[in-house]
Structure 1
Amino acid sequence: MFYQVYVPDKHRDFLRFLWWPGGDTTKPLEAYRMKVHIFGAVSSPSIANFALKQTAEDNTYKYDKEVTETVQRNFYVDDCLKSVATVNQAVKLIRDLKDVCYQGGFSLTKSVSNSREVLLSIPESQRASNLKELDLDREQLPIERALGIQWNTESDTFTFKVANKNKPLTRRGILSMVSSIYDPLGFLAPFILKAKQILQELCKLECGWDEIIPEKLAKRWQIWITELEQLKRFQVDRCTKPNNFGLVRSAELHHFCDASEAGYGTVSYLRFTDAGEIHVTFILGKSRVTPLKQITIPRLELAAATLAVKITLASAGSGVSDASLIGC
Structure 2
Amino acid sequence: MFRQVWTHPDDRKFLKVVWRSRSTLPLKLYQLKTVTYGLACSPYQAARVLNKLAEVEGDRYPLAALVVKKRFYVDDVLAGGVNIKEVAETCRQLQDLLAQGGFTLRKWCANDPSVLQHIPQEFWGTSPQLEIGRSAITKALGLLWNPRTDRFGFQVPSLQKLDVITKRTVVSEMSRLFDPLGLLGPVVISARMFVQGLWAKRLDWDEQLPAHENRWWQAFRDELEQLKQITVPRIQATENKID
Query: Do they fold alike, i.e. is TM over 0.5?
Result: yes
1:56-67 alignment to 2 at 5 Å? 56-63=54-61, 65-67=62-64
Change (3 A) 1:210 1:116: same
**Does the 8 Å CA contact 1:143/1:150 hold for their aligned counterparts?**
no
- Mapped to 2, the partners of 1:231 and 1:32 lie a distance apart of 48
For each residue in 1:98-156, what CA deviation from the matched residue of structure 2 results, as whole angstroms up to 9, or x when unmatched?
Answer: 2121212222223232323335653232234xx1xx5xxxxxx2131465131222322
Match 1:152 to one of 122, 142, 145: 145
The match for 1:49 is: 47
Distance 1:157 1:46 in 2: 31
Contact kept, 8 Å, 1:18 with 1:32, in 2: the verdict is yes
Q: Aligned partners of 1:215, 1:175: CA distance in 2, in Å?
A: 18
Cα distance change on mapping 1:85 and 1:26 into 2, 3 Å:
same
Equivalent residues in 2 for 1:109-128, closer than 5 Å: 109-119=106-116, 121-128=118-125
Tell me the amino acid that sits aligned with residue 52 of structure 2: Q
Distance 1:156 1:222, change over 3 A: same
Instruction: Check 1:58–1:91 CA distance in 2 against 1; reply closer, same or farther (3 A cut).
Output: same
- Partner deviation per Cα, 1:252-290 (whole Å, 9 max, x = no partner): xxxxxxxxxxxxxxxxxx9xxxxxxxxxx7x67xxxxxx
Instruction: State the alpha-carbon separation in 2 of the partners of residues 24 and 229 from structure 1.
Output: 46
Structure with greater contact order relative to length (CA < 8 Å, sep ≥ 6): 2
Q: Is the 8 A contact 2:88 2:117 kept in 1?
A: no
Q: Which amino acid aligns with 1:237?
A: P
- Return closer, same or farther for 1:41/1:172 CA change in 2, 3 Å cut-off: closer
Q: Which amino acid aligns with 1:57?
A: E
How many residues are matched? 232
Report the counterpart of residue 12 of structure 2 in structure 1. 12
For the aligned residue pairs, the C-alpha RMSD in angstroms reads 3.6
List gaps (5 residues or longer) in structure 2. 134-139
| SS class of match (2:236) | coil
Alpha-carbon separation, structure 2, partners of 1:191 and 1:49? 31
Does 1:100 find its partner at 2:97? yes
Q: Deviation per CA, 1:273-319, whole angstroms, max 9, x where unpaired?
A: xxxxxxxx7x67xxxxxxxxxxxxxxxxxxxxxxxxxxxxxx9xx5x
In structure 1, which of residues 196, 199, 203 is the aligned counterpart of residue 195 of structure 2? 199
Deviation at 1:93, TM superposition (A): 1.8
**More strand per residue: 1 or 2?**
1
Change (3 A) 1:30 1:55: same
Aligned residue for 1:36? Answer: 34
Give, in whole Å, the separation in 2 of the partners of 1:215 and 1:27: 53
Q: Post-superposition shift, 1:231?
A: 1.2
Which protein shows a greater Rg? 1
Structure 1 CA distance for aligned equivalents of residues 108 and 44 of structure 2: 23
Distance 1:47 1:190, change over 3 A: closer
Find the aligned partners of 1:156 and 1:7 in 2 and give their Cα distance: 42
Q: Does 1:231 align with 2:227?
A: yes
> TM-score under structure 1 normalisation?
0.58
Residue number among 115, 130, 150 corresponding to 1:143 in the alignment: 130
* Residue 225 of structure 1: how far off its partner (Å): 3.3
- The residue aligned with 1:261 is none
Tell me the residue number matched to 2:136. none
Q: 1:70 maps to what in 2?
A: 67
CA distance in 1, matches of 2:224, 2:50: 41
Q: Following the alignment from structure 1 to structure 2, what is the Cα–Cα distance between the partners of residues 170 and 24?
A: 39
Change (3 A) 1:220 1:68: closer
TM-score by length of 2: 0.74
Instruction: Tell whether the 8 Å contact from 2:78 to 2:132 is kept in structure 1 after alignment.
Output: no
1:291-306 matches, cutoff 5 A: none
Is contact 2:91–2:116 with CA below 8 Å preserved after alignment? Answer: no
